[in-house]
Amino acid sequence: MKTLLVTGATAGFGAAIVERFVTSGWRAVATGRRQDRLDALAARLGPDRVHTACFDIRDADAMAAALDAIPEPFRGIDLLVNNAGLALGTAPAPASDLAQWRQMIDTNVTALVTMTHRLLPTLIARRGAVVNIGSIAGLYPYPGGNVYGATKAFVEQFSLNLRSDLHGTGVRVSVIEPGLAETEFTLVRTGGDRPASDALYAGTQPITAADIAESTWWIATLPPHLNINRLEVMPVSQSLAGLQIHRE
């Protein structure tokens, strides 16, 4: 039986990815800060198949302790899904909150590379795989995307560079870059503004968490000689809008 570790499994993509894999025969290590959500996931999918690890992913010591405490049947990680992440705010740079910028960098960048570095020996030993969750925000700029988009650009380039470094190891590395997807993402970004979140998705058919779980499953279960480098996914209701011009 194969095992995956999914960061940010208390909601959205992460929870759906754990469910997709566990219901298809894998074991999962599910992480996040909300123990009640992790408990509910394990109760629903089976505690023998889901090990939960509750910690703030920005806390490197807590991460190390949680990884050390993974029980034996779950220790052989075959797939790392670096999913935990967030956007905070939509203000243009001059009006942005520096603490929010730093929180996005600490979560989306520093924690992601720390988790990856810690699990590389296991992944190499098992000829495993890494799937990083990037974003279209890392590919296309938009007003108010400032640091969030920059963190996701990092995720894209780190994924490609990691692939280069792991050349010859058999370890696969992919980055999925979703567009508009309805999860708790916009609630978090707006500080809990439910009407703003509902308004963003109203009248669209956004990507669902299950869609990204299915993409992750597809990438992970391709024949082992194939590597999806990047997978950019948008809903049909979203497309690119081009450049802006300011006139005096």
Could you give the residue numbers annotated as active site? 148
37 or 49: CB nearest ligand NDP: 37
Instruction: Return the residues of window 59-118 that contact ligand NDP according to CB under 6 A.
Output: 83-86, 107
Token code pair at residue 19: 């469910």
How open is the CA angle 163-164-166, to the nearest 5 degrees?
A: 65
**Sheet of 230-233: strands edge to edge?**
50-54, 27-32, 3-6, 79-82, 129-133, 172-178, 230-233
What amino acid is encoded at 219 in this protein? Answer: I
Choice from 9, 79, 88, 137 touching ligand 8X3 (CB under 6 A): 137
**Does the footprint of ligand 8X3 cover residue 136 (CB under 6 A)?**
yes
Instruction: Return the residues of window 33-52 that contact ligand NDP according to CB under 6 A.
Output: 33-34, 37
Choice from 3, 10, 52, 216 touching ligand NDP (CB under 6 A): 10
CB 135 within 8 A of CB 152: yes
What is the phi-psi region of residue 12: left when phi exceeds 0, alpha when psi lies from -120 to 50, beta otherwise?
A: left
Interface segment toward ligand 8X3; rule CB under 6 A; list 41-49, 53-61, 94-102, 133-141: 133-141
**Among ligand NDP, ligand 8X3, none, partner that 12 touches (CB below 5 to 8 angstroms by kind):** ligand NDP
Question: Which distant-in-sequence residues (6+ apart) come within 8 Å of 60 by Cβ?
Answer: 114
55 or 101: CB nearest ligand 8X3: 101
Interface segment toward ligand 8X3; rule CB under 6 A; list 10-18, 117-125, 130-138, 167-175: 130-138
110 or 170: CB nearest ligand NDP: 110
**Does the footprint of ligand 8X3 cover residue 146 (CB under 6 A)?**
no
Q: Exposed, middle or buried by CB within 10 Å (0-12, 13-18, 19+), for 8?
A: buried
Contacts with ligand 8X3 by CB under 6 A lie at 135-137, 145, 179
